[in-house]
A and B are shown apart, each in its own frame.
Chain A
Amino acid sequence: MHNSSRRGFMGKAFGAVAGVGVVGSLVAMKKTWDPLPSVKAAGFTTLDMSIYPEGELITEKWRGKPIFVLKKTAEMVASQTESQKARDVVVGDSHFMIAIGLCTHLGCIPGYNAAEKSFLCACHGGQFNWAGEVTKVPPPRGFDIPPFKIEGNKMILGEAGPEYQAMKDSGVTL
């Protein structure tokens, strides 16, 4: 009896030491898999918004992802619905569609059809319009908008400015 309670104590003592070790190791392993500081630091891209031609889709790169930049034509701006206006990004007096160019379903890059002014994802058939809204499933929502901050004619991707924050708060983007 005396012995077994000693063994019980030793078992519990080892269990406590091992438990601390396991928790510590798991924390270290989790953190080791996190994106490196250099990866995170490279997560900012500055775009000069004055150089884009109207009505043409330009693809930029931010955090390895394609960023769609479409400077809207006067007709596009005039025809915008309320929900399309909510996604509209205004720099100076130009209107833009800015979006992460990945299908919100599983992340393929939809192709842009300039004649129809719409996007089609070849992977699973999802479609989006020129304003970035989803028009055909499976994608669950329109294009995500990258965090951006407007400074004069420049746009910094990766930093959340007040315009972006407003879109996020109103649920226009995730």
Chain B
Amino acid sequence: MAHFTKATSVKDWLNQRLAIEKVEKVMASEYWIPKNINFLWAMGMVLAITFTLLLVSGIFLLMYYQPDVKDAFYSVNYTIMRDVDFGWLWRHIHGVAASVVFLIIYIHMFTGIYYGSYKKGREMIWISGMLLFVTFSAEAFSGYMLPWGQMSYWAGMVITNIFSLGGLHMDGLVEWIRGDYVPAQAFLTRFFMLHVLLLPLAIMGLIGLHFAALRIPHVNNQDGEEIDFDAESKKYLAGDKAGSKVMRFANDFMSKDMMVVGIYLIFFFYLVFFQYGFALDPVNFDPADGLKTPAHIYPEWYFLWSYEILRPFSVNIGLMAFGFAQVIFMLLPWLDRSPNAVPASRRGAFSIWFWLLLIDMIVLTAMGKLPPEGIFSTIGLVAALAFIVLWIALPFITMNEKKA
């Protein structure tokens, strides 16, 4: 057995057994962050906080929610909203956070694209991040089923039908996913399980991977500068804090991070208390009815861009375009052929590509919300084609990029 001595303090006792001082250094005070960053680098912490809000509010909702097709709607809209003291608070936090978390994810993603934070050495950060996006999407969808309103039911119907894969007619697979011919009890209970257990577990595991992927390449900085973290951290520890290009994760970086988090939380709780309506679709306040489709079915705003890529085409081509949109972001580190890890503004044609992609996705989002008629159909079709063309063009426009 290892040698233990009589402890001089509680800290020493723990240190001998758990090496808490060493852990604190590795995780916080000697985890080095570049100084040359801005508030966009705080989005990771904002996301961690939002995920915590979802987890905590979800725990309280879970205590009254009934995953039963007869009771689910009333357990949410009556028991939680009216009977349970502060039940409305947990529901509004949960609903608003589910929507806002995607806004922050998109900001976080586009920050990464803008600053080239997915380039050589940082591919695993990008991939684990995109896997988190996929699992968050599944988590959002499965959660959307639970109130068992009209939008829950029909979104469940339409989205599970995608798995018949159009012309392949895999109806057996769709019935297997649902556990019934239509979304019914088996469907609700299994999506409940996915939402409260399997997917959150996967998300927590992926968050661990995402953080781990950061350790070796470190966080990127505003100029994409390659920093010698060993040399710079030695300089810092030797006392030259001003001359060093890096700072401690805690408390240096954390203090800035939490400042942004503070501002974010004021905005967040303003939404929770005064503007929660955007996160609760009025159609979903009608109980699920398998014999009546709502006049317009549309997903939540964060899925609209990919929905709009599915919509303008005939079923098979639409599904292929949709599949393309789902996987293409994952391949970004390889589709971008330029080794330049600098902000998009210094990368010529890539800068145009970046802003076009962002605008195109905003247009797709807007068109996805509008009914598929007349000029909106046409704009939607053009924007969907533009999305595909932009991604196909990316390797060619980055191949000949000059060294920045």
Contact = CB atoms under 8 A, between A and B. Distances in A.
B176 A65 contact: no
B176 A108 contact: no
B169 A174 contact: yes
A107 B161 CA distance: 7
Contacts of B178: 35
A125 B373 contact: yes
The size class of the interface chain A forms with chain B is 20 to 34
B123 to A, nearest CB: 30
A59 B291 contact: yes
B166 interface: yes
B181 A35 contact: yes
Contacts of B296: 122-123
B162 A106 contact: yes
B184 interface: yes
A158 to B, nearest CB: 10
A170 to B, nearest CB: 17
B295 interface: yes
The size class of the interface chain B forms with chain A is 35 or more
Contacts of B294: 122
Contacts of B377: 125
Contacts of B154: 108
B186 A35 contact: yes
Nearest to A64: B182
A66 B293 CA distance: 11
A12 interface: no
A105 to B, nearest CB: 6
Interface string A115-142: 0000000111100000000000111100
Contact of B181 (A59, A65, A109): A65
A70 B171 CA distance: 25
A150 B288 CA distance: 32
Contacts of B177: 33
A39 B161 contact: no
A110 to B, nearest CB: 8
Contacts of B239: none
Interface string B149-192: 00000100110011000110101000111111110101000100
Contacts of A20: none
A140 B161 contact: no
Greatest chain B CB density within 10 A among A61, A108, A125, A174 is at A108
B96 to A, nearest CB: 27
Interface in B247-290: 290
Interface of B: 154, 157-158, 161-162, 166-167, 169, 171, 175-182, 184, 186, 190, 290-297, 311, 313-316, 318, 372-373, 377
27 contacts: A30-B176, A33-B176, A34-B179, A35-B175, A35-B176, A35-B178, A39-B180, A39-B186, A59-B291, A63-B182, A64-B184, A65-B182, A66-B290, A66-B291, A105-B315, A108-B158, A108-B293, A109-B291, A109-B292, A123-B293, A123-B296, A123-B297, A125-B372, A138-B315, A140-B314, A140-B316, A174-B171
Interface of A: 30, 33-36, 39, 43, 59, 61, 63-66, 105-109, 122-125, 137-140, 174
